[in-house]
Structure 1
Amino acid sequence: MTRRQKRSGAAGTPPRRRFPALSAALALVAGATLAGAAPAHATTWTGVAPGVTYRQYDLAAAAGTAHAHVLGVDLADPRVRLGLLYPGVMAARSTVSSLAGRQGAVAGVNGDFFDITEAQHPGVAATGASVGPAVAGGRALKGAVPNAQRFGPTPPPGADTRAVVGVGADGRARLDSLTLDGSYTVEGRRMPLGGVNQYALPENSVGAYTPEWGDVSRRRAVCGSDTARAAPCGSRTYEVTLKRGRVVSASVTPGSGAIAAGSTVLVGREAGAHRLRKLVAGQRVAVRYALASASRSAYRFAVGGFPVLSGGRPLAGLDASVSAVRTAVGIGDGGRRVFLFTLDGAARYRGGLTISEVAAALRSLGATEGFSLDGGGSSTLVARPPGAAAGVTVRNHPSDGAERPVANGVGVFVS
């Protein structure tokens, strides 16, 4: 099994688009400029670690005064890198401060939107797994769920669940799109995978689950549809367990529990379940997958969300009516400079920003590209106190009153 990323362009891979093509036209969103927004130089940046600085400031917005917390990250400094904060498996959650402490990050913010509730599916537990693709240390950990099964606000036209912000092998940050390119092969016949370590699979597909999924039930994978997250769970399902590439067991319903090292579980729904039923004990099945990028870049790290700013201009169609606490990433200086931006959730600031105001705030910092991450009670920014050898503290006030466990985050590491 290949868990390594691949560059797009292989035979059978559909054509990809660069993110600037997500919208046919980029335009300034009316009212996006923040009245009274502090310019990037208005507040002193304080040092967190070599190449990493922090600042906080007020800004005026449609819902009242918001308070921003920002990390400035200099990726031109060879000692500095960004990486994925996550609990070690996809179907699990932990707080940003505990993830940063466990992985040795000097700072970080929360990451992608995630499967937080399954109220529409009685008896099915939320998995905690993220919506979009995830890459850590150059390894593809999971693919994106179908667009209709995403959580979070509506993205701008043309954006989908494959959207990522990441850092390539060249050390530069960029926005991109990562598409699953995977298959399972039986007796010389190769069939496509519809997902890898995802909380939701496309209808009629087969998904692969590895030890990196975790021990949470895989039942949620066959719930919802390609058009509605709340659609009922499928009844035509089948699951096959592979050990060292051979079929060792099967079940008519998706199971739970940790997946052993060297094993892969294939979960099928509808027509995918019908295909899996044809497999027999001892039969050899080869599984391979990778994430192909629209820009043909190889990634060291990537996390999901959706784009808000491209080429220094807000994407057309950004929401300008709903204000909330937000977390976002800005990229400047050709990918060498990154801004990790989080709003404060204290009661006096809880009105927050609209998505179009987030784009404007990132641009005021000097970003030319911008990307929205999860917000609300998930919004958290942590950083090591200046001069401290270890240990991060939460710099903003999470709107839940305490840190919310999240699926993943963006960590800042300094060697």
Structure 2
Amino acid sequence: MNNAFTGKQRNESVQDRRTTTAKRWVAASLAGVLWIMPVIGSEAMSPWTASNASIAAAATALTVNKLSEDVITSGAVMMKYKYTAVRSGKSASGLADVIRVDLSNPYVSLDVMTGKGGTLTTRQSTGGMAKETGAVAAVNGDYFNTGGEGSPIGGQVSGGVLVSTPSQLDGMYAFAVTKDRKPIIDEFSFQGTVSSGDGSQFPLSGVNKGAYNPEGGTSTYSHANALYIYTDVWTALDRPKNSSTTPTEALVENGVVTKLSENAALPIAVPKGAFILRGHGQAAKFMMDHLTVGQPVTSTYSLISKTTQQALDPSTLQTMIGGHTILVNNGKASAFSRSTSSIDGTRARTALGYSQDGRYVYVIAVEKNSNSTGMSLSELQSFMTNIGVWKGLNLDGGGSTTMVDRPLAETSTTLTFNTEYGTEQRSIVNGLGVYTSAPQGEVKGIKISGNTTLLIGQKATYSLKGYDTYYNPIDVAAGNPTWKSSGDSVTVKAGEVTAVKPGTVTLTAASGGASADTKVTVLGGSDLNSLTIGTPTAPLTAGASVSVPVTAVTKSGASVAVPASALKWEFVGFKGSVQDGKLTVASVDEGVTTGYAIARYDGFSTAVVLSKAAATPWEDFENVNYPIAFTTNATGVKGTAAVTDGGPDRAGSKVLSMSYDMTAGSGKMYAYAQFNGTNGKAIPATATSMSVDVMGDKSLNWMRAEIVDNSGATVYVDLAKVIDWTGWKSLNIDLTGSGIKFPATLKRLYVVNVEEGQDERSKTGTVAFDNITFTMPSLSSEAGLPKGTASMSIGSKTVTVNGQKKPIDVAPIVKDNSTYVPIRYVLDAFGGTATWDPVSKRILVLRGSKVLDLTLGKKEYVLNGKRQSAEVAPLLLQGRTLVPLRLVSEQLGLTVKWEQNTKTVTIES
């Protein structure tokens, strides 16, 4: 048993924790499930109550391979694994990251970090808590109510101090480490007593708890007729939120009642070193009958193992964090200890476990992002047993899954992998951190930190960082390191590297007797998948100026801003310049309606297409003459959609504002802003892109547009996979791969709250739309292109254009079952130009909004800045370039027909 919250001893322990231990807390909180309910008065029951019986679990077979193992600090290593599973007969793979902590190492420890400043009822990202507390690695932690004040569902001990007690819920396991460094995974209940000055006693139901629906007891409500303690770690004035009954509260300072408030909460936060007793019903009556200002109050409490029924003094623990179901026991998949229906699916996952000998703790995070498919719970069980977990439990996962670690020789943590929301980290209530207390050792090694890939012209600064014998960072800059490069692809001076030409070099730095090297690759055009210009279309008007930032995507998937010095610009149809990232049109050539500003990076091209009407304003909501209405798919969802004033950020402008409330709905829920009833508003011509200004609400919901095309098909266009911003933001959406048959109509703009991970997204919010624009080349850059029909026969040196025969100097041919046609005569008939570069053997084709780069003998080609591949390559015949017929039909916007009997190709526009 533990005596707590009594007099000076309690005050000193709190103060000591505030100044020392609290600074070392690591917060890893888990995504909340909305299970906390009002104390009295709610008929709704929590999803946690659906099924409390153990559910048999059979681990799904996985193939697991370790990819890497890196030291974080003495006693802790980061291991990355690749796993492969079979799902519905198909193979799926992903990545998992495991921090293995060696409890036999005296310099490494685990502890729970909490909110901001080590307090409950505040929230912070895992990375933020790690930075605040000095953790060298951390992961998100316990489940919490996303609509509550911000407290964990499970019990919590931080720095040896009880922070929160377990909730009375069946099958909810916890992980703990004792002060003698032994790991524990068990299911705990809480038992406590409060004693008044006259010797009367009343059961203590818990410490620092939000309201919830208990299981397995006599009460439906956690705080009904119950007595709770709230310490100075609980910063919110609500103790707890959503309390339907009137409380009685008493402030206890130095073990003595100093304030007593009957049938009303004290209007204060808990003072440092003090605590507030809060009672409802029979507990409130006890307080008024037996507590008096000036009289002492004491309490005793303990944790009870539900497995052994033995009492555990929380003061014997260094740390404890709550979780959900047990996953692994005795090295095998365990039956789930409670229903997992609310957390099933293939998601990012977080888990904890330890080895059979109790030496190692495994902190596990499964990735779900562009590189990884996530795991089911049964797959997670299999993974854990594969890596040596003897006993393990599930922590909160999904969108909360976040891991940070400190790379070797670095001084701060970084994201170990992208979350389900990219680099966005959810704010959570607690987490688990890894700490080091090792003294400074001698220099053990040094490493070079900096980019491993550069673009031509890019400058980058590299630093030399060291680590000591305990693998903690140590300053080596005082050694005046020297730098050199093994080749001339880069130049280097005092750690600043300038990329000169494509190639790979070894960058070497030396400090004292230690040296380090790293490979640096300067990327060439052949290393890129795409070049994208921030403004792909522009007005073809003298004096027009547009921003033209260029971004490269490498074949490895990395996105890099291209330095202006690395680009060579060519202007077709006008005279202009590019300076400081801006394209300016000086003059337009006579008779030209479409111009091209072509940017090349080491030969790889992209272009701005300039035309008399580049981007067509579609709706700015200033003079809307058709109805706009709010609709939804789900009963209980409410909202409004209307044209309103733009507010402070859009003064004098009107916008389409949509507010939604999905709290009474269920399943996959939609909030629509619908245009012109069921008719929508017309998009009159082929659109290659769409831009729209959006005011986000950081709800983490999904935003889309619904378009019905000319064939009657409905096309759903993603505006934003995740609304992860607030305020106004301009979105640009590429429509070229959407398959829309124009003309079309835009019917609705809408927000989706998907069912999977629904607890992680806001169910209420307000978004707004403005300045919707479509780029419609057929109204501009392709408006003047010739229409008609051209026919050519295999082996014949004539072409028939709109009924008139013309001679050509090279005939179409069939080679390796592919038909080739001379590109020059196709362009003569249907508009466009082709230029030949004999040095690079490259053909540049310009037609309307299309910029096509072909290379003789190569199947790969570049269309409007994107690398693609054809089945066959262009070839040279009798001094003329012949291109595969499929390229003509698919990439230049022409229709091709083949007549087998006459071996005739007919091309139409």
Aligned to 2:871: none
User: Could you tell me how far apart the structure 2 residues matched to 1:372 and 1:107 are?
Assistant: 19
Q: Cα offset for 1:348?
A: 5.2
Count of residue correspondences: 360
Counterparts of 1:112 and 1:216 in 2: how far apart (Å)? Answer: 22
Give the structure 2 partner of residue 80 of structure 1.
Answer: 108
Shift of 1:219: 3.7
CA deviation profile, 1:359-403 (whole Å, cap 9, x unmatched): 211111111111111111211111001122x21111121223311
Given candidates 328, 332, 336, the residue that maps to 2:355 is: 332
Residue 89 of structure 1 and its aligned partner are, at CA, apart by 1.4
Unaligned runs of 5+ in 2: 14-51, 212-221, 438-909
Query: What is the alpha-carbon root mean square deviation over aligned residues?
Result: 2.7
Higher relative contact order (CA 8 A, sep 6+): 1
- The AA in structure 2 aligned to 1:311 is N
Q: In 1, Cα distance between the equivalents of 2:432 and 2:301?
A: 21
Alignment correspondent of 2:330: 311
- Amino acid of the structure 1 residue aligned with 2:179: A
**What is residue 364 of structure 2 aligned with on the other side?**
341
Select the residue among 58, 69, 76 that pairs with 1:52: 76
Residue 102 of structure 1 is matched in structure 2 by: 132
Q: 1:180 to 1:25 in 2, by over 3 A?
A: closer
Deviates more, 1:108-117 or 1:61-70: 61-70
- Is contact 2:145–2:151 with CA below 8 Å preserved after alignment? yes
In the alignment, which residue of structure 1 is the partner of 2:4? 2
Q: Quote how far apart the aligned CAs of 1:266 are.
A: 1.4
- The Cα shift of 1:132 comes to 0.8
Q: 1:364 to 1:274 in 2, by over 3 A?
A: same
Tell me which residue corresponds to 2:153.
Answer: 131
SS at match of 1:282: coil
Q: State the distance in 2 between where 1:299 and 1:26 align.
A: 30
Amino acid at match of 2:420: S
Residue 311 (structure 2) pairs with residue 287 (structure 1): no
Distance 1:243 1:337 in 2: 41
Q: What CA distance in whole angstroms lies between the structure 2 residues aligned with 1:55 and 1:188?
A: 56
Name the CA distance, whole Å, in 2 between partners of 1:54 and 1:277.
55
Residue 300 of structure 1 aligns to a residue whose secondary structure is strand
CA contact (8 A) 2:62 2:379 kept: no
Report the alpha carbon displacement of residue 54 of structure 1 after superposing the two structures with TM.
Answer: 1.0
> Counterpart of 1:150?
none
Q: Which is worse superposed, 272-281 or 360-369?
A: 272-281
1:205, distance to aligned residue in structure 2 (A): 0.5
* Partner AA of 1:84 in structure 2: V
**Residue 396 of structure 2 corresponds to which residue in structure 1?**
374
Q: How big is the shift at 1:252? A: 2.1
CA distance in 1, matches of 2:237, 2:369: 33
Q: Verify: 1:391 aligned to 2:415, yes or no.
A: no
Query: What one-letter code is carried by the residue in structure 1 that aligns with 2:239?
Result: R
Whether the 8 Å contact between 2:190 and 2:304 is mirrored in structure 1 is no
Moved more, 186-195 or 268-277: 268-277
Tell me how far apart the structure 2 counterparts of residues 219 and 253 of structure 1 sit (CA, whole Å).
Answer: 13
Structure 2 partner of 1:278: 289
The 3-state SS of whatever aligns with 2:297 is strand
CA contact (8 A) 1:26 1:314 kept: no
Contact 1:215/1:256 (<8 A) preserved: no
Identify if the C-alpha distance between structure 1 residues 25 and 164 changes in structure 2 by more than 3 Å, giving closer, same or farther.
closer
Could you tell me the TM-score, scaled by structure 2's length? 0.37
Report matched runs for 1:167-178 at 5 Å. 167-178=177-188
Point out where structure 1 has 5 or more consecutive residues left out of the alignment.
6-22, 118-125, 148-157, 224-232
CA offset digits 1:132-154 (Å, max 9, x no partner): 1111122111112232xxxxxxx
Cα deviation per residue 1:212-243 (whole Å; 9 max; x = unaligned)? 111341142xx5xxxxxxxxx43243222233
Bigger CA radius of gyration = 2
Whether the 8 Å CA contact 1:218–1:255 is kept in 2: the answer is: no
Task: Quote the Cα distance in structure 1 between the aligned partners of 2:300 and 2:175.
Answer: 20
User: 1:198 is matched with which residue: 209, 212, 229?
Assistant: 209
Question: How do residues 202-213 of structure 1 correspond to structure 2 at under 5 angstroms?
Answer: 202-213=223-234
- 2 CA distance for matches of 1:238 and 1:112? 30
**8 Å CA contact retained: 1:172, 1:334:** no
Distance in 2 separating the partners of 1:345 and 1:216: 37
- The structural deviation recorded for 1:257 is 4.4
Equivalent of 2:171, from 150, 159, 171? 159
How far, CA to CA, are the matches of 2:176 and 2:53 in structure 1?
23
**Moved segments of 4+, more than 6 Å:** 23-27
Q: Give the number of the structure whose residues are more often strand, by fraction.
A: 2
Aligned to 1:68: 96
The match for 2:378 is 356
TM-superposed deviation, 1:50: 1.3
For 2:311 and 2:278, the matched residues in 1 are separated by 29
Q: Distance in 2 between matches of 1:261 and 1:304?
A: 25
Secondary structure in structure 1 of the residue aligned to 2:357? helix
Residue aligning to 2:683: none
3-state SS of the aligned residue for 1:212? Answer: coil
CA contact (8 A) 2:348 2:398 kept: yes
Range 57-66 or range 131-140, more displaced: 57-66
SS at match of 1:278: helix
Q: Which amino acid aligns with 2:121?
A: A
What is the distance in 1 between the residues matched to 2:318 and 2:269?
Answer: 26
Selected match of 2:432 from 376, 387, 410: 410
Change (3 A) 1:363 1:257: farther
Q: CA deviation at 1:25?
A: 9.1
Which secondary structure does the structure 2 equivalent of 1:99 belong to? helix
